[in-house]
């Protein structure tokens, strides 16, 4: 084996907080990345994977203390001075971040930003050379029509194109190492697939060493050569990708793999037929901004029977969240009808609408954002009861206790504030509040996509359990087909505001009738290197 | 899963009310003490001035004009030969009254209009935004001169109302921006989805979460207002003699700063203590009202 390009040995990072305590972030981490190799660092939030990546470029905040050794082809980077780091950053080690629009300056064209990197690191190039190099770089990362896109501003690009531009900028100086921190997390699955293809091709043709930071086992299975599993700041296991999935050595790796939702489309008993709780017919939602009208939802029909779960899937911009908002009265309905439990949810007097809202529970994606930071979780769960049921005193406390109990949180936690809870616990609070008024319909908008996989698994379990017990109808909005497979009875696929396909879960997920559904299913990352590589090979062949 | 939760359970939660938190902050007591002393001075300037030498701010002796601090006059005398300490003490009431009343009025107007504009948006927002533009575009001094000159009697209350009349727009804009950003927060959407009324959402969720920056600016505003009063007075449209205020003293003293610096320094000192105490108190309360700052 060739000597590694990037070699991290015994890396330890501590953060000193303002009150003098030392918080260890990374403990004794060692890993090597060779030329032409993709090494994935996986772990859940707080595992220290991003801190490890940042320390390579010395990008940690000033209160961090770093020990150990990071060698880039012989150059020591731990404790290096500003000059040496500057000679490495962007030139020999380049970084790609999660949010492409956050990484690009909105007031300059993408070509200017690529040329800026070249001006800084390749001062010997002439202006004309820089211009042609920028176009070449965009072509390298498969940006369509690079000659004209070089003059585009970031907001004129799609998310996938913007991330390609960011990768092109990173590649401007032919770096030896590319560090990609969750490069596809903010992107849709079909776009994710394309970006991963670009990374694979760079590895094969340019021989770049890639350190890929991710939480997604599907991405790991798809592109990684070797995998480093991290937990609580330490390396749990390092293996080649095949053996890691086939025979994981560490217990934690096994747990992590078991928690990853898989698209298996296994048969489950259908819920018995019941009358429809939610009926959406010909729904059109239009947003007006100045003189322009955007049609977010265009003629959608949906039915959910009581006690069953309808999953609404689609990529970003497909209008799936807008439908959820229209049902809960948070989006302007242009035409069409939404009937919840026999009540028209669009054209009713305000009083009727308010009464209707009490019977619709809502769970949002970001559990921290959905809870008022100034209210304890007891107040948050109790507020709907206080307002709508006029519950007070011990009756209220008892009901809040029951609800917290139902979501498996200890009753005495009622006095805690949202920031004192973990993401999964917060989402449990949000669920408790949503079911406080015994809703007939629950709208859940990506309730688990902000959570780590192991937490996601437990929250999904809880969700399913509560749904079976309380038998409410549920509109479950998600982009993750594997999650949908675990939870839904019926699936509706949306694309650009229109319904592409709707039907029973097993039918849609195994025998899709439409091309778009098929593409979506093919792009979904599979946490199994054998299967996903086969798929890749089939694509290539 | 339940084991998982028990394992991560933090040690027993201590009582963390607002009071329990501020009680432990020495700065809270310092600023409270300073403001307390100022309030006592504002209530009983006479007896306190008597204790410290000169009980009557208007007993002036022109032969002692501009004396530096010394016997009988701990803060010295001003250009008219009046005792600076007595004047500062007697001015406390007027200045604090104008500073606090103006700020309170501004805050009231700004909170109501800013919240309506920021929360409801649409036509209400446009009307209120244009209204603030009109007030911001209108020259403050000119407006104040016109209003105050046409008033029959210029009391501290009238001056406070006029000052508030011309200074609420900046604060209202701040409230509007702050409310707008909170309005988009998911927990506000969640409250809508739960069918809560607008009043409940605004008072229970939006305002408490948007007050932070507003209060910070409001506390610094008190000092600015006290000085603005002196500007009006200097131009002859503010308070009239024989009213005593820090602003009056400061505007008289600035002309004689080189010959009698103490006439400027002592009133400014009191003004600074007032403003700094208010700012500190505001900061501590803001931290204490935020649950994240408490634990």
pLDDT at residue A272 above 90?
A: no
* Residue A341 belongs to a domain: yes
Best mutation site among A290, A372, A412 for testing chain B: the one with the most B CBs within 10 Å? A372
| Domain end point (choices A153, A172, A191) | A172
Listing DSSP states for B80-117 in one string gives TS-BHHHHHHHHHHHHHHHHHHHHHHHHHHHHHHHHHH
**Interchain contact, A364 vs B189, CB within 8 Å:** yes
Question: What range does the domain containing A320 cover?
Answer: 276-359+437-523
Residue A511 lies in a domain: yes
Q: Do A362 and B193 touch (CB under 8 A)?
A: yes
Looking at the fold, whether A161 and A281 belong to one and the same domain comes out as no
- Residues of chain B with C-beta less than 8 angstroms from the C-beta of A366: 186
Q: What is the pLDDT of residue A295?
A: 86
Percent of chain A at pLDDT > 90 equals 29
Instruction: Tell which of A172, A192, A224 closes a domain.
Output: A172
The pLDDT value recorded for residue B259 is 82
Q: Is the bond preceding residue B242 a cis peptide, omega within 30 degrees?
A: yes
Cβ contact (<8 Å) for B194 and A383? yes
Q: Is A428 on the interface with B (CB under 8 A)?
A: no
Contacts of A370 in chain B (CB under 8 A): 186-187, 189-190
Q: The domain that contains A457 carries what CATH number?
A: 3.40.50.300
Predicted pLDDT of residue A535: 54
What pLDDT was estimated at residue B6? 39
Q: Give the number of A-B residue pairs with CB atoms closer than 8 Å.
A: 91
The verdict on a CB contact (< 8 Å) between A417 and B291 is: yes
Does position B169 have pLDDT exceeding 50, yes or no? Answer: yes
Residue A123 counted as domain residue: yes
- Rg, Å, chain A Cα set: 25
Q: Is B123 helix (H, G, I), strand (E, B) or coil?
A: helix
Judged by CB atoms closer than 8 Å, whether chains meet at A329 and B190 is answered as: no
Q: What is the pLDDT of residue A537?
A: 57
Say whether residue A430 is in contact with chain B using an 8 A CB cutoff: yes
Question: Is residue A147 domain-shared with residue A288, that is, in the same domain?
Answer: no
Report the distance separating Cα A302 and Cα A475, nearest Å. 10
Q: Tens of pLDDT along A72-114?
A: 988 888 888 888 888 888 889 999 988 888 889 989 999 999 9
pLDDT at B4 over 70: no
On the question of pLDDT at B292 being above 80, the answer is: no
- Closest-CA distance of chain A to residue B206, Å: 9
Q: Is the domain of A355 the same as that of A489? A: yes
Say whether pLDDT at A531 is over 90. Answer: no
Question: Between chains, do B209 and A364 touch, taking CB under 8 Å as contact?
Answer: no
**What pLDDT, in 10s, does the model give residues B192-250?**
888 888 888 999 899 988 888 888 888 888 878 887 887 787 777 777 767 788 878 88
> How many residues does the structure list for chain A?
541
pLDDT for position B241: 67
* Alpha-carbon gap, residue B214 to B200, rounded angstroms: 20
In a domain, A352, yes or no: yes
Of A374, A384, A443, the CB nearest to B291: A374
CA-based nearest residue in chain B for residue A324: B193
pLDDT number for residue A173: 86
- Residue B285 pLDDT: 81
Nearest beta carbon to residue B194 from set A384, A416, A461: A384
Give dist(CA B75, CA A112) in Å, integer.
Answer: 65
pLDDT of A286-337, one tens digit each? 888 777 888 888 889 999 998 899 999 988 878 888 899 899 888 888 889 9
Closest partner residue to B195 (CB to CB) among A357, A412, A417 is: A357
Percent share of chain B, pLDDT over 90: 19
Average pLDDT over residues A241-265: 88
Pick from A44, A351, A374 the residue to mutate for testing the B interface (most B CBs within 10 Å): A374
Q: Does A370 touch chain B (CB under 8 A)?
A: yes
Residue A474: inside a domain: yes
Q: Are A373 and B209 in contact (CB under 8 A)?
A: yes
Output the pLDDT for position B294: 64
| Closest CB to A387 among B13, B196, B291 | B196
Does any domain span residue A443? yes
C-alpha span between A136 and A110 (Å, rounded) = 13
Residues of B in CB contact (< 8 Å) with A are: 1-2, 4-6, 8-10, 13, 185-187, 189-197, 200, 204-205, 208-209, 289-292, 295
- Closest CB to A371: pick one of B5, B187, B290: B187
* d(C-alpha A254, C-alpha A250), whole Å: 7
In chain B, whose CA is at the least distance from the CA of A382?
B194
> Do the chains contact at B205 and A372, CB–CB below 8 Å?
yes
Query: Please, which pLDDT band fits residue A9 given cuts at 50, 70 and 90?
Result: very high
Q: Average per-residue pLDDT in chain A?
A: 87
Query: What are the structure tokens assigned to B84, written together?
Result: 């600076």
Q: What is the average pLDDT score of chain B?
A: 82
B194-B197-B199-B200 Cα dihedral, nearest 10 degrees: -40
Q: A57 in a domain, yes or no? A: no
Of all residues in chain A, the percent with pLDDT exceeding 70 is 98
Domain termination site, one of A151, A172, A193: A172
* Residue B3 clears pLDDT 60, i.e. is over it: no
- Please report where in the chains the tokens 């596809």 appear, as a residue: A184
Task: Give domain status of residue A5, yes or no.
Answer: no
Kindly state whether residues A318 and A444 are assigned to the same domain: yes
Q: For residue A504, what are the β-bridge partners?
A: A490
pLDDT at A115: 92
* Overall number of domains in chain A: 2
Please tell me which residue of chain A has the smallest CA distance to B17. A415
Task: Specify the DSSP class assigned to residue A371.
Answer: S
CA-to-CA separations, A170 to A91, A117, A215, in angstroms, rounded: 9, 9, 22
The predicted structure's pLDDT at residue B196? 86
**Nearest-Cα residue of chain A relative to residue B207:** A374
**pLDDT at position A533, please?**
61
C-alpha closest to that of A40 among A270, A188, A214: A214
Interface of A with B in 80-139 (CB under 8 A): none
pLDDT average, residue stretch B168-194: 89
A241 touches chain B (CB under 8 A): no
Whether B14 has a pLDDT exceeding 50, the answer reads no
Q: Domains in chain B, ordered, with CATH?
A: 73-294 (1.10.3720.10)
H-assigned helices in A330-480 = 350-357, 377-388, 393-406, 423-434, 453-470
- Residue contact A388–B195, C-beta within 8 A: yes
Pairing mode of beta strands A226-231, A38-42:
parallel
Q: A57-71, A381-395, B69-83, B169-183: lowest mean pLDDT where?
A: B69-83
**Can you tell me the mean pLDDT for A409-416?**
87
Please report how the helices B140-149 and B156-183 are oriented relative to each other, as an axis angle in degrees rounded to 10: 140
Say whether both A286 and A140 belong to one domain: no
Q: Do A283 and A167 have their domain in common?
A: no
Q: What is the pLDDT of residue B202?
A: 92
Selection from A402, A346, A404, A349 nearest residue A377 by Cα = A404
The band of B127, judged by pLDDT with boundaries at 50, 70 and 90, is: very high
């Amino acid at each position: 084996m060739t000597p590694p390009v990037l070699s991290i040995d015994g890396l330890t990072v501590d953060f000193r907080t303002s009150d003098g305590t030392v918080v260890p972030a990374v403990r004794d981490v060692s890993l090597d990345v060779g030329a032409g190799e993709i090494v994935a660092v996986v772990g859940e939030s707080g595992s220290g994977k991003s801190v490890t990546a940042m320390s390579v470029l010395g990008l940690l905040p000033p209160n961090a203390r770093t020990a150990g050794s990071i060698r880039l082809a012989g150059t020591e980077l731990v404790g290096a001075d500003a000059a040496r780091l500057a000679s490495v950053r962007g030139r020999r080690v380049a970084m790609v971040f999660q949010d492409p629009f956050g990484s690009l300056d909105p007031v300059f064209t993408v070509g200017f930003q690529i040329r800026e990197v070249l001006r800084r690191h390749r001062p010997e190039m002439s202006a004309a050379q820089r211009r042609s190099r920028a176009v070449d770089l965009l072509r390298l990362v498969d940006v369509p029509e690079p000659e004209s896109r070089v003059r585009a501003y970031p907001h004129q690009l799609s998310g996938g194109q913007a991330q390609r531009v960011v990768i092109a900028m990173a590649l401007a100086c032919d770096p030896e190492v590319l560090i990609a921190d969750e490069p596809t997390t903010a992107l849709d699955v079909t776009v994710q697939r394309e970006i991963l293809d670009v990374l694979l091709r760079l590895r094969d043709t340019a021989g770049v060493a890639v350190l890929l930071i991710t939480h997604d086992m599907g991405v790991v299975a798809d592109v990684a050569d070797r995998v480093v599993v991290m937990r609580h700041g330490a390396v749990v296991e390092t293996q080649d990708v095949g053996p890691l999935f086939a025979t994981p050595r560490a217990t934690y790796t096994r747990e992590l793999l078991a928690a990853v939702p898989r698209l298996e489309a296994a048969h489950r008993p259908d819920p018995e037929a019941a009358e429809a709780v939610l009926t959406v017919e010909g729904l059109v939602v239009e947003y007006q901004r100045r003189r322009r009208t955007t049609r977010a939802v265009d003629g959608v029909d949906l039915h959910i029977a009581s006690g069953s779960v309808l999953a609404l899937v689609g990529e970003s911009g497909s209008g799936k969240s807008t439908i959820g908002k229209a049902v809960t009265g948070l989006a302007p309905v242009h035409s069409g009808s939404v009937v919840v439990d026999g009540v028209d949810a669009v054209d009713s007097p305000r009083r009727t609408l308010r009464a209707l809202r009490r019977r619709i529970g809502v769970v949002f994606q970001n559990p921290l954002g959905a809870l008022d930071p100034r209210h304890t979780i007891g107040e948050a769960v109790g507020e709907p009861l206080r307002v709508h049921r006029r519950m007070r005193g011990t009756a209220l406390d008892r009901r809040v206790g029951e609800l917290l109990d139902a979501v498996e949180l200890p009753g005495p936690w009622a006095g805690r504030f949202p920031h004192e809870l973990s993401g999964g616990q917060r989402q449990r609070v949000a669920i408790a509040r949503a079911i406080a008024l015994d809703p007939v319909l629950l709208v859940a908008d990506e309730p688990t996509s902000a959570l780590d996989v192991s937490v996601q698994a437990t929250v999904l379990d809880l969700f399913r359990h509560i749904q079976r017990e309380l038998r409410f109808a549920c509109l479950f909005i998600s982009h993750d087909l594997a999650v949908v497979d675990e939870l839904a009875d019926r699936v509706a696929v949306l694309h650009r505001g229109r319904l592409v396909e709707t039907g029973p879960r097993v039918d849609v997920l195994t025998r899709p009738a439409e091309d778009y559904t098929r593409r979506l299913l093919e792009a979904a990352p599979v946490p199994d290197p054998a299967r996903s590589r086969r798929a890749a090979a089939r694509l290539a062949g | 899963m339940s084991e998982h939760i028990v394992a991560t359970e933090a040690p027993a939660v201590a009582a963390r009310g607002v009071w329990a938190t501020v009680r432990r902050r020495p700065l809270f007591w310092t600023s409270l003490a300073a403001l307390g002393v100022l309030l006592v001075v504002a209530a009983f300037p006479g007896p306190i001035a008597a204790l410290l030498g000169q009980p009557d701010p208007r007993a002036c002796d022109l032969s002692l004009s501009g004396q530096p601090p010394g016997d009988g006059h701990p803060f010295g005398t001003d250009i008219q030969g009046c005792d600076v300490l007595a004047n500062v003490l007697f001015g406390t009431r007027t200045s604090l009254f104008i500073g606090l009343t103006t700020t309170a009025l501004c805050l009231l107007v700004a909170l109501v209009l800013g919240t309506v504009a920021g929360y409801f948006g649409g036509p209400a927002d446009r009307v209120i935004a244009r209204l603030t533009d009109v007030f911001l575009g209108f020259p403050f001094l000119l407006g104040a001169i016109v209003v105050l000159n046409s008033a029959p009697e210029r009391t501290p209350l009238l001056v406070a109302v006029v000052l508030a009349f011309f200074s609420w727009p900046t604060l209202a804009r701040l409230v509007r921006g702050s409310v707008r950003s909170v309005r988009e927060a998911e927990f506000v959407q969640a409250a809508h989805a739960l069918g809560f009324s607008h009043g409940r959402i605004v008072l229970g969720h939006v305002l408490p979460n948007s007050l932070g920056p507003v209060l910070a600016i409001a506390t610094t505003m008190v000092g600015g207002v006290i000085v603005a009063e002196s500007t009006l007075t200097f131009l002859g449209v503010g308070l009239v003699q024989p009213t005593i205020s820090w602003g009056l003293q400061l505007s008289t003293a600035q002309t004689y700063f080189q010959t009698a610096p103490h006439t400027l320094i002592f009133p400014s000192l009191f003004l600074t203590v007032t403003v700094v105490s208010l700012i500190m108190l505001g900061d501590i309360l803001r931290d204490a009202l935020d649950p994240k700052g408490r634990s």
